[in-house]
Amino acid sequence: MYKLLRLVESRAMVFGLHKLLYNHCLRKTITTASCNKIQSEVAKLLALKAQLTTEDATPQKFTLKTPKGTRDYNPQQMSIRNDVLQKIIGVFKKHGAECIDTPVFELKEVLTGKYGEDSKLIYDLKDQGGEILSLRYDLTVPLARYLAMSKINTLKRYHIAKVYRRDNPAMTRGRYREFYQCDFDIAGQYDPMVPDSECLKVVTEILDTLNIGKYVLKVNHRRLLDGMFEACGVPADKFRSTCSTVDKLDKLPWEEVRTEMINEKGVTPEAADKIGEYVRLNGGVELAEQLVKDEKLSKCKAAIEGLEGIKLLLNYCNLLGIKDKILFDLSLARGLDYYTGVIYEAVLTEPIKIGNEEQTVGSIAGGGRYDNLVAMFDSKNKQVPCVGVSIGVERVFSVLEAKLAAGELNVRTSEVDVYVASAQKNFLEERMKICAELWNAGIKTEQSYKKNPKMLNQLQHCEENGIPLAVVLGESELKRGVVKIRDITTRDEQEVPRESLVQELKSRIASLNSNAVNGSA
Amino acid sequence: MYKLLRLVESRAMVFGLHKLLYNHCLRKTITTASCNKIQSEVAKLLALKAQLTTEDATPQKFTLKTPKGTRDYNPQQMSIRNDVLQKIIGVFKKHGAECIDTPVFELKEVLTGKYGEDSKLIYDLKDQGGEILSLRYDLTVPLARYLAMSKINTLKRYHIAKVYRRDNPAMTRGRYREFYQCDFDIAGQYDPMVPDSECLKVVTEILDTLNIGKYVLKVNHRRLLDGMFEACGVPADKFRSTCSTVDKLDKLPWEEVRTEMINEKGVTPEAADKIGEYVRLNGGVELAEQLVKDEKLSKCKAAIEGLEGIKLLLNYCNLLGIKDKILFDLSLARGLDYYTGVIYEAVLTEPIKIGNEEQTVGSIAGGGRYDNLVAMFDSKNKQVPCVGVSIGVERVFSVLEAKLAAGELNVRTSEVDVYVASAQKNFLEERMKICAELWNAGIKTEQSYKKNPKMLNQLQHCEENGIPLAVVLGESELKRGVVKIRDITTRDEQEVPRESLVQELKSRIASLNSNAVNGSA
């Protein structure tokens, strides 16, 4: 036993555990009692191991990095990010959306059975002797949990927060393990396609505001997909898995999708070929009208329901003035299990030019109707129909960051208007008093944290950070009761009475701001 | 073996594992090979167990809740929250702070050895076959990791994000396991107390802006505490643990703190009594001047350094016009290990009245100087001196939420200005066209998602949500080329030509907004 404990202490834990069990086994017949004994020994050893692991990690130098698939955001990146998010929030608010937030983790049970094959990508928390928790995988399931738990029947909300997926990161293309989602959803029992069409309108407004390139908004309907599978001879229990194969059409050629259907999903070659004919189709309302008369589809209730839905949606899109941006596309399937009605996806149609390189962005927003998700959380199975959209802001960020790196974008990371400087020594206390006065007047102000900074360094700081004005203090001016205001760009300097400094600065800042607004308009 | 597998399948996993090992043990002598065999069997069984656990969790109803110590934020709570955060960000920006962000989790090693006794409160992620990760415990350690990793020597940044602590939640008092921190820090090698005093100025501006009640900003210095312990005869290796006991003085009476020092920290009763005399002291610059001459302290280099620092800080606070809000308090210790210089804490001095109840809030902001933390992450131990402050916004939120619940606070959760309504049936399409027009003109607009909503319900929605204007459509008006604009508060209705609707609404909204601003000023 002593040797064994030494072994454990030398951290050859697994081996030690086996030896302990071996000793026990040899010495006596297994009885329930001895088995309990073993279990308690195992528990003790595991506790010991855990302790050793903790002690292992005493302060030491190690590779400094952020976890795989994550990154820090520096001030320039945050500036871009905040700017994009503000624009998106602006559109959400224009449509009257309220804001909610939910915890970053949920009880694991909440996420279970919602994401199909992707469930393996969920981050779990360690069991530290409490509840079993997982990091949120999206914002839709937490919304459904929130609606069911709070017994809310109607809500138009936006939610901007980070979600977590243990996916293979492709960071240059904006695919991370920690990333922002920007979701807009409308919950409530309403008339068909009215909230659905507003979601599409919201997407177009956001993409237009972000001005990120030409795009098309593909739409389809899960009922039509189901009807199409039925009409092609796919058995009902294979609809969802066939659907997730069709979803790969944006990345794989039809031939490969067909093979997967037949070999992995058990679809017959004949059925696959029929599906292949349908998923080639896309168009406008005339396509929907033509398909209603289609020999196979017209016999199938689900298909007709889906097609009538699409026709109504396209009509509303016309009224909302976004018809030109919508494409009814039978190959659009969307991966997630929970969609029940209309589904949509916005795709940039042209690669984005950054410097000499072209970047293909692809899908930039997606969503659909999910009428049964809330009921999965309600003890009485009460339905709250929902429709929503998620904006793929990480792709937008990655495009803008590439532009920044290529020198095609300028960002200011602080909003300081005035720098309080001095050319002479021993002016720190005077600078402090003036800073306090300007801060109290609400003026965005900075100064050097050095007692006696060099004038050149102070002016350079202003230039590098886009600070437009400097207050320059000097002994002779202070004696005369004046201070100098310097325009950093023009290098003009003007003396103003010390007591009218705040007023003068405020009017200069106001005029700078109105020029900036007019300049960018 | 068949029986065994049945056992495993019936999920009596631990017992099964033992039996398997037992069988192996009985049949052959343990060799490295057989041990490897056992290990691989164990691995297989564990994998099987994991699979069983996953399958266990097929969709089913369960208690709907958020994880312990966390909560959802509904639109009203988010409105309060966003409003408070915007005010705080406004102050940070006024001082020229840039914004950064870091991942919600870090490599566990990054957090290890930074939080002393509190390390047990860190949330770990499950080992899913990759890196060993933990949720961030604060924003200070990630900042230090970021500075060291990015080799940044100077930065003035704010960071507003959620942090995670497996503490005992006291949710009514605003203590959660997931909560916001609002941090402002200044990194860089600067002259003594210049950035430190700006941090205190920032705290006063934020607390004044939030208008949350009278407060005092206590300051002390870790060097003075060290010197004081030394002068009282505490051995150097007990400084940190004695310090963390002094930190409890805001919650425990001196007698209990004294007992803990003696019984748990090994401080002699004589030393404890001497400490007890010092920690009773508080005051202004005159106290610092008196202590410089103190018989015991004056002999101690650390104490003199601390006192000179405090004197300089108080002088700068005077220049910044915040002297009245500062109290030099020798009982202030702060729990965290990493502070090296000035420390401070803002405390509300009066309970807050909400309805008939009084709520004691206590500490509402805190921080200090930590000059060695970045070096802990740098392979060459390069120092980046830092000073910062963290605003305890959760306590602010809890006060405001209590006021909301008591009916002492009104919040609007959406910003909609115009509701497009109709008194007659079959106006959905007309409403849609007008909504699209208003959205395109940037007007915050809503309509009912029902085809034929009742007029009363539409107007009620406006009243409940504070929407000031409604556009009311009717057949006779449309024929005459006009629409009605209704003022929800006064119930006045006015006809305007259909083509000047946007212009008329914009001017009405502008005048409503300017009235609101004047009204609140």
Report helix angle A428-440 to B194-210, nearest 10: 20
Say if residue A520's pLDDT is above 60. no
CB within 8 Å of chain A, chain B residues 189-228: 190-191, 194-195, 197-198, 201, 205
In this structure, are strands A352-354 and B352-354 parallel, antiparallel, or unpaired?
unpaired
Specify the DSSP element, H or E, that contains B471.
strand B469-473
B445/A166 touch (CB, cutoff 8 Å), yes or no? no
Please identify which residue in the block is written with the tokens 């259909």: B498
Give the DSSP H or E segment for B485: strand B482-487
A161-183 mean pLDDT: 89
C-beta of residue B306 within 8 angstroms of C-beta of residue B224? yes
Comparing CB atoms, the residue among B60, B75, B449 nearest residue A157 is: B75
Q: What integer best gives the mean pLDDT of chain B? A: 88
Find tokens 């030394």 and name the residue: B230
Q: Which pLDDT belongs to residue A101?
A: 98
- When mean pLDDT is compared across A12-26, A277-291, B422-436, the lowest value belongs to A12-26
How many Cβ atoms from other residues are within 10 Å of residue B362's Cβ?
A: 16
| Beta strand spans in B19-151 (E) | 98-99, 105-107, 133-135
Contact A101 B73 (CB under 8 A): yes
Partner-chain contact B59 A112, CB within 8 Å = yes
User: For residue A349, is pLDDT > 80?
Assistant: yes
pLDDT beyond 50 at B501: yes
Q: Do B243 and B278 meet the contact criterion of CB atoms below 8 Å apart?
A: no
Contact state of B166 with A101 under an 8 Å Cβ cutoff: no
Per-residue pLDDT at A361: 82
DSSP letter for A175, please.
B
Comparing alpha-carbon positions, the chain A residue that sits nearest to B59 is A113
Confidence band of B519 (pLDDT split at 50, 70, 90) = low
- Measured between alpha carbons, how far is A152 from B274 in angstroms, rounded to an integer? 60
The residue-averaged pLDDT of A432-437 equals 97
A-facing residues of B in 33-52 (CB < 8 A) are 35, 38-39, 42
Here the ipTM equals 0.84
A281 in Cβ contact with A330 (< 8 Å): yes
B336 secondary structure, DSSP code: -
> Nearest to residue A371, comparing CAs of A190, A123, A216, A159?
A190
8 Å CB contact of B58 and A113: yes
* Angle in degrees, CA B77, B83, B88, rounded to 5: 125
Q: What is the pLDDT of residues A39-62, one digit of tens each?
A: 555 555 544 444 444 433 344 456
Q: Is B120 helix (H, G, I), strand (E, B) or coil?
A: helix
**Amino acid, res. B457:** N
Asked if A67 contacts B103 with a C-beta cutoff of 8 angstroms, the reply is yes
Residue B429 touches partner A, C-beta closer than 8 Å:
yes
Confidence band, pLDDT 50/70/90 cuts, at residue B358: confident
Q: Could you tell me whether strands B178-187 and B215-221 are parallel, antiparallel, or unpaired per DSSP bridges?
A: unpaired
- Cβ within 8 Å, pair B126-A130: no
Please name the member of A65, A157, A432 whose beta carbon is closest to the beta carbon of B316.
Answer: A432
Contacts 24+ apart (CB under 8 A), A206-211: A206/A87, A206/A88, A206/A91, A206/A365, A206/A391, A207/A346, A207/A364, A207/A365, A209/A87, A209/A88, A209/A90, A209/A91, A210/A84, A210/A87, A210/A88, A210/A396
Verify whether the Cβ–Cβ distance A436 to B162 is below 8 Å.
no
Contact A21 B25 (CB under 8 A): yes
User: From the DSSP assignment, how many helices (H) and strands (E) are in chain A?
Assistant: 18, 18
- Between B103 and A402, name the one with better pLDDT: B103
> Whole-angstrom Cα distance, residue A312 to residue B355?
52
Q: What would the mean pLDDT of A111-131 be, rounded to a whole number?
A: 90
- State the SS3 of A177-241: CEEEEEEEEEECCCCCCHHHHHHHHHHHHHHHHHCCCCEEEEEEEHHHHHHHHHHHCCCHHHHHH
Dihedral of alpha carbons B312, B316, B321, B327, sign: negative
Which of the four pLDDT bands, split at 50, 70 and 90, describes residue B337?
A: confident
Is the Cβ–Cβ distance between B469 and B505 less than 8 Å?
yes
Q: Which of A197, A446, A449 lies at the smallest CB-CB distance from B194?
A: A449
CA dihedral A361, A355, B147, B109 (to 10 degrees): 40
**A–B: how many Cβ contacts below 8 A?**
293
Dist CA B243 CA B225 (whole Å): 8
- pLDDT tens-digit profile of A454-505? 999 999 999 999 999 999 999 999 999 999 999 999 999 999 999 999 999 9
Residue A41 has a pLDDT of 55
Q: How far apart, in Å, are the Cα atoms of A101 and each of A139, A317, A383, A389? A: 9, 30, 22, 17
- Please count the other Cβ atoms lying within 10 Å of the Cβ belonging to residue B152: 17
Share of chain A above pLDDT 70, in %: 87
Model confidence at A35: pLDDT above 60:
no
pLDDT digits (tens, 9 = 90+) for A248-271: 898 899 999 999 999 999 999 999
Cβ of residue B514 closer than 8 Å to a chain A Cβ: no
Q: Where in B177-259 does DSSP place strands (E)?
A: 178-187, 215-221
Interface test with B, best of A401, A439, A473 (most B CBs within 10 A): A439
pLDDT at A507 over 60: yes
Q: What is the DSSP string of A251-270?
A: TS-HHHHHHHHHHTS---HH
What is the band of A514 on the pLDDT scale with cuts at 50, 70, 90?
confident
Q: What span, in angstroms and rounded, lies between the C-alpha atoms of B307 and A395?
A: 53
Q: B277 to chain A nearest CA, in Å? A: 35
Tens-place pLDDT, residues B299-312: 999 999 999 999 99
Whether residue B67 and residue A106 make contact (CB cut-off 8 A), yes or no, is yes
Of B64, B75, B100, which has the smallest distance from its Cβ to A148's Cβ? B64
Q: Residue A328 in contact with residue A298, Cβ under 8 Å?
A: no
Of A55, A38, A48, A37, whose CA–CA distance to A8 is shortest?
A48
Contact (Cβ atoms closer than 8 angstroms) between residue B100 and residue B144: no
**What's the mean pLDDT when you consider all of chain A?**
88
CB burial of A434-443 (b: ≥16 within 10 Å; e: otherwise) equals bbbbbbbeeb
**Which of B96, B135, B439 faces A414 most closely, judged by CB atoms?**
B96
**pLDDT above 50 (res A27):** no
**Position A82 pLDDT exceeds 80:** yes
In this prediction the pTM is 0.85
